[in-house]
Amino acid sequence: WDNSSPVIVQGGSLRTWSFANPAIESVQVLLKTEGRPLDADVELWQGPDNTPHKMRVYVEDGALRTFNAVIGTPRGPNTVAIRNIGQLEFPLDAVVRPDRDDGLAANIASVAQRSETIQGGALRTYPFDPSVDSVAIILKTDGRPLNARIELLQGPNNNKQVVELYTEDGLDRPFFAIVETPGSGNVVRVVNTAPVEFPLYASVDAYRVGGGIDWPDDGLMIGRAF
């Protein structure tokens, strides 16, 4: 965010970013708010009436947990469309920019190296220590379609962030994301919403680990003196 110029997307409106250069293999998508909820549809358009990648993003607090993902854009030209489906009172800031070979996707891949298979209809949960500030996630397939839901929970059935994801080809267009996990009691849940014939491969690991100095006061501190 420090080196970028975000575009404000008002509630109920649509903004598009076009990339005509076929050398751009992937783009980084960043979304945030001033602390209000974030609710958006993100789509990749390639040719007329062709949407090979789309996702629905919900974040309870768009300032505390900014959305940060990389989507594949092989064989350009491509257009990324972001629609703010929140109310008029809930604008969001969006940045869409090319991801370099040594960019965010490469950093995520260097961290999240352990992969496990999630069969169609199954789910996996990944609890994280309070010292973990953010989590790296990679979802891909062997070339089949990818349908998944990523949830960040903090407490029983308390969704802080939800991403519903569809990718036409999970090998050609794998999904990379960083999920911010401030506070304690964070659990990442990955659900394969596709039928049993469509397994996916998930890599979920800690991305940035701190000392918890900037934790919000969520009323729960275990093993620390107040």
Return the number of other C-beta atoms located less than 10 Å from residue 15's C-beta. 16
Query: pTM, whole model, 2 decimals?
Result: 0.86
Residue 10 has pLDDT above 90, yes or no: yes
Residue 215: the pLDDT is 47
Quick: pLDDT tens for 32-86.
999 999 999 999 999 888 999 999 999 999 999 999 999 999 887 899 999 999 8
Quick: pLDDT tens for 77-116.
899 999 999 898 899 999 999 887 778 888 888 887 888 9
Kindly list the strands in the beta sheet with 159-167, ordered across the sheet, starting from the edge strand earlier in the chain: 14-19, 78-84, 38-45, 53-59, 159-167, 146-154, 186-192, 123-127
Residue 223 has pLDDT above 60, yes or no: no
Rounded distance between C-alpha atoms, residue 9 and residue 187, angstroms: 30
Residue 1: the pLDDT is 57
| Percentage of the residues of the chain whose pLDDT score is greater than 90 | 64
Token look-up 């961290």 returns 111
Residue 220 has pLDDT above 50, yes or no: no
Residue 76: the pLDDT is 76
Rounded distance between C-alpha atoms, residue 172 and residue 147, angstroms: 14
Quick: pLDDT tens for 152-190.
999 888 899 999 999 999 899 999 999 999 988 899 999
Residue 212 has pLDDT above 70, yes or no: no
Nearest alpha carbon to residue 135 among 223, 211, 200, 69: 69
Distances (CA, A) of 134 to 102, 149, 168: 19, 18, 27
The dihedral sign for the CA sequence 189, 140, 37, 133: positive
Residue 108: the pLDDT is 85
